[in-house]
Structure 1
Amino acid sequence: DRQRLSHDIAVNAREILKPIADELGAKIQIVEMPPGPPVLQTVVAEIYGPDAKTRQQVAKDMTVIFESAEGVVDVDNYMADEYEYWRFEVDTKKAARRGISVNTINKTLAMVMGGYKLGDVKKGRMLEATYIVIQAPLGVRSEINRLGNMPITGVNGETIPLTELGRFVRATEDPIVYHKDLRDVEYVTGEMTGRLGAPIYGMFGIEDLLENYITPDGEKITGMPLGLLGPPADDFKSAFEWGGEWTVTYETFRDMGGAFMAAMLLIYGLIVWEFKDFSLGGLIMAPIPLTLIGIIPGHWITGAEFTATSMIGFIALAGIVVRNSILLVEFVKHEVEKGIEIHDAIINAGKARIRPILITALTLMAGSYMILDDLIFKGMAVSLLFGAGVATVLTLVVIPLGCISLKKHFYECAGPNGEKVIHRVDEDEIEEFKLPLWMRIYSAVISAATWIFYIGRMLVMVVKMAFDNFAGRFKTAPVSESFVTEPAVDLNSEDSSNTKQTEDAVESKAKKPTNETDKNATSEKKSSRKKAVKKKAAPKKTAAKKSAKPKPKKRRGIQLKDDKDENNKD
């Protein structure tokens, strides 16, 4: 009874062994048994292409990209390096003259190399057989000359050395060609680690790195979104498909989603067939989405992942919640048929039905708590435990409110043969149209959420603008030649007082002219002011350099219309 989970042990082993492997130039993979169907690895890229050379080059490049992606570890591909091996070529003519068959030579070599099974151990009941294998020591197997002296027994019992029946030849092993659906393919694999251990996060990181990658045949490849759903249409250009755990996850949730929709349609059809009212069918199924209010926070609180078993728990919980709704709605319907007011009928339904509803919910939650520690069914336990608790409480609130909103449908109950039977009709309520209470509450919640979103967005934009404005005050703006610059002047000196008087005089006269003559006069005065400022600024700059004082700061001036013309003339 160990305290750590298998995943924790695998993560710890990777942290210990990875530095050793990197130091020795080796590659290791920490393999965990998946809880579902077997897959190659967590993240798998299945690469297709027009020829073997292109596929292998793309696979090598993808391996480098996998290693660069955040959270992707144990990266490898299924391409084997070229290596040589020894094989024995039989001289069939010599073997035939000696009365020795090729099968006999192969069997003898297999016995020496350890590839021949003599039999199995007979030892009671065993799940897997234990085979008896005979082989020569490694030192003998690795020496070709000693293997050549190995005796081969002929038909007449004569022993002949192996070298007289053929020779050993060194050859290069052919590369392995993998196929999927009769198409050549290369595999690049990796595992996920860290807080975001789901394969989709690693796939997004790899897709970001593929934005600037071009294949040898000039294609820009991506696995989003078509690569998530199936292989490329053809092999005439490089492409790839995402596989691994993503395929299992996609297919599982796709099938589960289809089953959930079919279950919802079937439940709704049965309810409408029983109550003969479409609105009451919608009211009874209204608490089903409320289970998510308990399921999603429950997974967050317990730290569980939303798996296929969580989806199974969600589907199962839908039937249980519908049963509770039927108990309340059916009782209210029977009470209204007796002539009881809708409010009194709802109170009577709560008194009569709340106990069996709570007992059913508590029993379900207690049973779910027992399997909360199971690694495979933890998601289903969380869905049933938290979803049942929250949905039961909300059902006791939503269903009575919905019954009040749909009281017209309770007063107009359907007869046994499908005809309308008017038990009690409130004329004022029938003539005046009002939104149901649940719809008004839903609209208020959506409106409040929308207003909160836009107000928060506005506040964020205002704070950002204020921060940018505040930060801009401390940034030194580049000074362009087309702007008028003025040196910082000393207020105690006579030059500064004269400059200040000149500025005041120019500014007082630089008002908007009313005619063309005033405009020309204003332009001339501005030009003279510009020249005066430049003449007075020159000695100040020279004095500042000689006195070794800090360089006076310059501030951005106003670009005048006639300044460009003056600069061009100068």
Structure 2
Amino acid sequence: DIRATERDIEQLEQRILSLDNVAKVTSTIGQGAERFMLTYNPERNFANYAQLILETHSYEQIKPTLNTITDILNDEFPQAFTKFTRISIGPSTKAKIEARLKGADPDVLRELALKVTEVFNAEPEAVTVDQDWHNRTKVLRPIYDEAEGRRLGVSEADLSDALKIHVNGLRIGVFRDGSELLPIVLQAPESERNGVESLQNIQVYSSTQGAYVSIGQLVKFIDIDWEDPLIKRRDRKRTLAVLADPNPETGITATDLFAKLRDKVEAIELPHGYELEWGGEYESQQKANKAVFTPFPLGILVMFVITVFMFNSIKQTLAIWLTVPLAIIGVTFGLIVMGAPFSFTALLAILSLVGMQIKNGIVLVEEIKRLQEVESYGWLEAIEEAAVSRVRPVTMAAITTILGMIPLLADVFFEPMAVTIMYGLGFATVLTLFVVPVLFALFYRVKA
């Protein structure tokens, strides 16, 4: 019940506010907070759901504060299923690992979800294992007696309205207060709805007889049943998702955890008409890669063709393009030394390094070509002179780009991109000054 949730959150909020490291706490009950940034996904409405947004005095205090709150929750609120999430500034998912089960029958989906949940729980490095349909709720379902209802002049809709008035209230109109619309709800007094036993005292008005009829005359019996409070659909198919996250204490990444769980989950036999689909971080990565790499081959082809037309030579073009992979050496070294992850921004930085490398190669090859054709240098002298004379412009262009990336090193989101460009361009620039002349000499068989 939402009132029980409210009482728990009031106690938890006071305990958290008493901690020295906490500067501010914002809590919502029954739903998530309103969207306050693009990458934040609000939670749906649930009576048993609450969310607390915590702000600490400094970044370094986040981890010890989380450990303290975890102990409080385990000791004082063992009935709660809790999950901690740091606000991300990039694309976010509800969980890092998400196995979506699609099919027609909710009962079969829940059985399959139970098997997937067992696989997730068996892996010690998977935490906060849950499913997004939540637990089934118990309901009392009055079975309407059609024959008796027709005799007494009471329809099933009349019975439903009487139950609504007694339980939740029946909306009968709207009151306008300035620019606000306030619902008018008809509901029985609280003294008449203080328990399940009070249902047998409900009176239903019969327009035929012009009098009230007891609910016992209209209902055969009241059945106790379980129902799904929420059924989600994806592409018009019922979809139940089993969620999990990597254990932050072990330091395992979502990719490594997904690799451990994938084969075990896919080994579960699915009935005909049911399918498994992976979401979470895996799906986000696939979408991002598709968005980036779908036009990538065409872009590379266009750049290569332009380079061929520029020099009117396949050999000179190959001498330039074969230096592009040299950037990977610096990128690998830089990410390892700086301890930065190979994130999506680092991937974009590698793509931008292609253009920077081509520019450096063009500057060097163009100078060799000019010295040989215009200044009438021999091939060997042209290669040597160009390699020496182009050191300053090539290195200066690289240094200005590297210096421009330094401010981004302090940013968590852009650090991988800055490290990739700085180390990748730095290593590749130095290597290009040696490799391009060597390749040029090999292709044209220039000998000392």
Structure 1 and Structure 2 fold alike (TM over 0.5): yes
Paired residue type of 1:204: A
Asked whether the equivalents of residues 294 and 390 of structure 1 are also in contact (C-alpha less than 8 Å), the reply is yes
- Aligned partner of 1:204 among 259, 271, 284: 259
Asked whether the equivalents of residues 10 and 32 of structure 1 are also in contact (C-alpha less than 8 Å), the reply is no
Asked whether the equivalents of residues 100 and 278 of structure 2 are also in contact (C-alpha less than 8 Å), the reply is yes
What is the aligned partner in structure 1 of residue 21 from structure 2?
Answer: none
Change over 3 Å in CA distance of 1:239–1:349 after alignment to 2: same
Paired residue type of 2:247: T
Partners in 2 of 1:37 and 1:296 — Cα distance? 24
Q: Does 1:258 align with 2:297?
A: no
Paired residue type of 2:434: V
Specify the SS of the correspondent of 2:350.
Answer: helix
What is the aligned partner in structure 2 of residue 301 from structure 1?
Answer: 337
Cα deviation, residue 73, structure 1: 0.4
Q: Does 1:222 align with 2:267?
A: yes
- Aligned partner of 2:402 among 344, 360, 365: 365
Asked whether the equivalents of residues 97 and 243 of structure 2 are also in contact (C-alpha less than 8 Å), the reply is yes
Decide which moves more: 356-365 or 108-117. 108-117
Paired residue type of 1:368: M
What is the aligned partner in structure 1 of residue 17 from structure 2?
Answer: none
Cα deviation, residue 29, structure 1: 2.0
- Aligned partner of 1:174 among 199, 219, 227: 227
Asked whether the equivalents of residues 47 and 241 of structure 1 are also in contact (C-alpha less than 8 Å), the reply is yes
Partners in 2 of 1:262 and 1:138 — Cα distance? 70
What is the aligned partner in structure 1 of residue 112 from structure 2?
Answer: 58
* Mapping 1:536-551, distance limit 5 Å: none
Cα deviation, residue 407, structure 1: 3.4
Cα deviation, residue 272, structure 1: 0.7
Cα deviation, residue 319, structure 1: 0.4
* Mapping 1:45-194, distance limit 5 Å: 45-48=99-102, 51-85=105-139, 172=225, 174-175=227-228, 176-194=230-248
Q: Does 1:388 align with 2:443?
A: no
Q: Does 1:40 align with 2:112?
A: no
Partners in 1 of 2:327 and 2:102 — Cα distance? 44
Cα deviation 1:383-402 (Å, max 9, x = unaligned) = 11211111111111211222
Partners in 2 of 1:71 and 1:381 — Cα distance? 31
Cα deviation 1:145-168 (Å, max 9, x = unaligned) = 999999xxxxxxxxx9x99xx999
Paired residue type of 2:256: Y
Asked whether the equivalents of residues 10 and 30 of structure 1 are also in contact (C-alpha less than 8 Å), the reply is no
Paired residue type of 1:278: I
Asked whether the equivalents of residues 84 and 170 of structure 1 are also in contact (C-alpha less than 8 Å), the reply is no
Partners in 2 of 1:335 and 1:138 — Cα distance? 97
What is the aligned partner in structure 2 of residue 379 from structure 1?
Answer: 416
What is the aligned partner in structure 1 of residue 378 from structure 2?
Answer: 341
Partners in 1 of 2:438 and 2:176 — Cα distance? 76
Paired residue type of 2:364: L
Paired residue type of 2:260: G
Partners in 2 of 1:350 and 1:57 — Cα distance? 69
**Identical pairs, percent:** 22
Cα deviation, residue 283, structure 1: 1.2
Cα deviation, residue 404, structure 1: 2.1
Specify the SS of the correspondent of 1:47.
Answer: strand
* Mapping 1:464-503, distance limit 5 Å: none
Asked whether the equivalents of residues 45 and 188 of structure 1 are also in contact (C-alpha less than 8 Å), the reply is yes
List alignment gaps of at least 5 residues for structure 1.
124-129, 151-159, 211-219, 224-231, 409-425, 430-570
Q: Which structure has more strand as a fraction of its residues? A: 2
* Mapping 1:384-463, distance limit 5 Å: 384-407=421-444
Cα deviation, residue 82, structure 1: 3.5
What is the aligned partner in structure 2 of residue 310 from structure 1?
Answer: 346
Change over 3 Å in CA distance of 1:357–1:113 after alignment to 2: farther
Normalised TM-score (structure 1):
0.54
Asked whether the equivalents of residues 368 and 383 of structure 2 are also in contact (C-alpha less than 8 Å), the reply is yes
CA radius of gyration, larger in? 1
RMSD of aligned Cα (Å): 4.9
- Aligned partner of 1:330 among 348, 366, 378: 366
Change over 3 Å in CA distance of 1:81–1:137 after alignment to 2: farther
List alignment gaps of at least 5 residues for structure 2.
1-55, 203-211
Normalised TM-score (structure 2):
0.67
Partners in 1 of 2:324 and 2:369 — Cα distance? 21
Partners in 1 of 2:135 and 2:109 — Cα distance? 15
Change over 3 Å in CA distance of 1:262–1:375 after alignment to 2: farther
Cα deviation, residue 378, structure 1: 2.2
Asked whether the equivalents of residues 121 and 131 of structure 1 are also in contact (C-alpha less than 8 Å), the reply is no
What is the aligned partner in structure 2 of residue 543 from structure 1?
Answer: none
Partners in 2 of 1:345 and 1:138 — Cα distance? 97
Cα deviation 1:349-374 (Å, max 9, x = unaligned) = 24443222222212211221111222
What is the aligned partner in structure 2 of residue 24 from structure 1?
Answer: 78
Cα deviation 1:165-197 (Å, max 9, x = unaligned) = x99978645224332223333221111124543
Cα deviation, residue 305, structure 1: 1.5
Asked whether the equivalents of residues 48 and 235 of structure 1 are also in contact (C-alpha less than 8 Å), the reply is no
Change over 3 Å in CA distance of 1:262–1:141 after alignment to 2: farther
Specify the SS of the correspondent of 2:240.
Answer: strand
Higher RCO (CA-CA < 8 Å; seq separation 6+): 2
* Mapping 1:264-283, distance limit 5 Å: 264-283=300-319
Partners in 2 of 1:402 and 1:170 — Cα distance? 84
Q: Does 1:236 align with 2:281?
A: no
Asked whether the equivalents of residues 127 and 246 of structure 2 are also in contact (C-alpha less than 8 Å), the reply is yes
Change over 3 Å in CA distance of 1:315–1:80 after alignment to 2: closer
Asked whether the equivalents of residues 328 and 349 of structure 1 are also in contact (C-alpha less than 8 Å), the reply is yes
Change over 3 Å in CA distance of 1:346–1:24 after alignment to 2: same
Specify the SS of the correspondent of 1:282.
Answer: helix
Specify the SS of the correspondent of 1:24.
Answer: coil
Partners in 2 of 1:393 and 1:78 — Cα distance? 53
What is the aligned partner in structure 2 of residue 497 from structure 1?
Answer: none
Q: Which structure has more helix as a fraction of its residues? A: 1
Change over 3 Å in CA distance of 1:203–1:398 after alignment to 2: same
Cα deviation, residue 243, structure 1: 1.6
Cα deviation, residue 136, structure 1: 11
Asked whether the equivalents of residues 66 and 72 of structure 1 are also in contact (C-alpha less than 8 Å), the reply is yes
Decide which moves more: 61-70 or 114-123. 114-123
What is the aligned partner in structure 2 of residue 470 from structure 1?
Answer: none
Paired residue type of 1:174: E
Paired residue type of 2:258: M
